């Protein structure tokens, strides 16, 4: 289909593109991405080697030391996902265009590929959290006020996630938590949270980062997954916390090409992206499923 409305009288040289979501889960400051260069194509896999902890033994000068045989394991990072884009660029449209629309269209396609990957990783992480690291269902106060019976403030949810990671000796460096926009609204007036610009750095650390608290970089995303299913909690959103080596992600745009159409006076622009992800340290992730509701707090009756 031609871009029939694209005439110089109506279109400016600069193309107006839609607003786009922050893509969070697939960025290299959250995921281990060093395996991307090893991808050969969809259906291939990358083998990640794991190593057991070295045993520490008591020393006795009268006893021979014991030499331990190291043992390793493996995690297969399967490249089992693939997405593509393909669109026409008609010669008539190119002749009429006041500006380049092939470039913005290609950028839009690239964003669409990354957005789908972001959602794929988020849902994979939900399934990969160690059972002991799941906080469970929480009801977060939304709209101000104190926490009522069975409710929690956003800060206290982060405390619970922090405790889960601490119990697993997860490093303090590089901790992150990904939350939906409602969480940000729920904590906006809580003085216990600090903005990124007052947290000792003006560097853009991560796409989507908005605040810091309890050692976490707090990132906002519209790809935060829902619990799903048919339970009462099906619409709850899953808050995920972890560190950068909790999971591995690899992707590669294996093909991007512009070819001449045989049946139209047009070019065809198309691209293929293959990718996969795997949780490598389930204990380095923590989760809580959250609903958001108005405060039910009522002050104790005066005595």
239 lies in some domain: yes
**Same domain for 198 and 109:** no
Backbone angles phi, psi at 295, to 5 degrees: -60, 135
Strand-pairing partners, residue 120, are: none
Q: What is the mean pLDDT of residues 157-179?
A: 96
Q: Could you tell me which residue, 10 or 101, shows the higher pLDDT?
A: 101
- Sheet strands side by side (includes 285-293): 134-141, 285-293, 237-242, 176-179, 216-220, 209-213, 194-195
153 lies in some domain: yes
pLDDT band at 154 (very low <50, low <70, confident <90, very high): very high
18 lies in some domain: no
Domain range spanning residue 197? 133-246+283-293
Report whether 120 contacts 79 (CB < 8 A): no
206 lies in some domain: yes
Is 50 exceeded by the pLDDT of residue 6? no
**Same domain for 83 and 224:** no
122's tokens: 């988020």
Sorted by sequence, the CB contacts under 8 Å of residue 225 that are 6+ apart come out as: 119, 122, 123, 126, 237, 238
**Same domain for 204 and 101:** no
**Same domain for 177 and 253:** no
**Number of domains observed in the structure of the chain:** 2
What are 8-64's pLDDT values in tens digits? 444 444 455 566 677 899 888 888 877 666 665 666 777 776 667 777 788 888 888
Listed range (130-139, 184-193, 211-220) with the worst mean pLDDT: 184-193
**Same domain for 154 and 96:** no
**Same domain for 265 and 231:** no
Listed range (1-10, 14-23, 248-257) with the worst mean pLDDT: 1-10
20 lies in some domain: no
Q: What is the mean pLDDT of residues 232-240?
A: 94
Nearest-angstrom CA–CA distance, 33 and 48: 12
Q: Could you tell me whether strands 209-213 and 216-220 are parallel, antiparallel, or unpaired per DSSP bridges? A: antiparallel
229's tokens: 């299913």
**Same domain for 207 and 142:** yes
Report whether 274 contacts 162 (CB < 8 A): no
7 lies in some domain: no
pLDDT band at 199 (very low <50, low <70, confident <90, very high): very low
The secondary structure element, H or E, covering residue 252 is strand 247-260
**Same domain for 96 and 46:** yes
pLDDT band at 104 (very low <50, low <70, confident <90, very high): confident
8 lies in some domain: no
What are 274-297's pLDDT values in tens digits? 899 999 999 999 999 999 999 998
25 lies in some domain: no
Strand-pairing partners, residue 248, are: 32, 278
CATH of residue 211's domain is: 3.30.2320.40
Nearest-angstrom CA–CA distance, 249 and 247: 7
**Torsion angle of alpha carbons 152, 153, 157, 159, nearest 10°?**
-120
What are 59-97's pLDDT values in tens digits? 888 888 888 877 777 778 888 899 998 988 888 777 666
**Same domain for 141 and 82:** no
**Same domain for 235 and 269:** no
Nearest-angstrom CA–CA distance, 276 and 41: 11
């Amino acid at each position: 289909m031609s871009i029939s409305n694209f005439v110089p009288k109506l279109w400016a040289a600069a193309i107006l593109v839609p607003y786009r979501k922050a893509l969070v889960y697939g960025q290299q400051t959250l995921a281990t991405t060093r395996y991307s260069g090893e991808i050969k194509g969809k259906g291939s896999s990358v083998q990640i080697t794991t190593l057991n902890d070295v045993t520490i033994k008591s020393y006795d000068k009268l006893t021979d030391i014991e030499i331990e045989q190291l043992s390793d394991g493996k995690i297969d990072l399967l490249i089992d996902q693939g997405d593509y884009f393909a669109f026409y660029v008609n010669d008539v449209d190119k002749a009429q265009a006041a500006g380049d629309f092939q470039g913005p269209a290609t950028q839009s396609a690239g964003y669409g590929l990354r957005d789908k990957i972001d959602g794929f990783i988020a849902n994979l992480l939900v399934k990969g959290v160690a059972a002991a690291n799941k906080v469970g269902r929480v009801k977060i106060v939304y709209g101000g006020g104190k926490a009522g019976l069975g409710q929690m403030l956003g800060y206290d949810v982060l405390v619970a996630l922090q405790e889960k990671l601490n119990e697993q000796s997860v490093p303090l460096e590089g901790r992150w938590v990904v939350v939906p926009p409602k969480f940000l609204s729920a904590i906006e007036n809580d003085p216990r949270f600090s903005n990124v610009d007052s947290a000792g750095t003006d560097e853009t650390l991560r796409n989507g980062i908005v605040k810091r608290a309890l050692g976490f970089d707090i990132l906002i995303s519209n790809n935060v997954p829902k619990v799903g299913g048919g339970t009462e909690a099906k619409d709850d959103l899953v808050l995920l916390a972890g560190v950068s080596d909790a999971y591995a992600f690899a992707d590669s745009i294996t093909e991007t090409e512009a070819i001449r159409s045989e049946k139209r006076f047009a070019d065809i622009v198309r691209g293929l992206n293959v990718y996969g992800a795997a949780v490598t340290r389930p204990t380095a992730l923590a989760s809580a499923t959250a609903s958001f509701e108005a405060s039910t707090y009522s002050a104790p009756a005066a005595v």
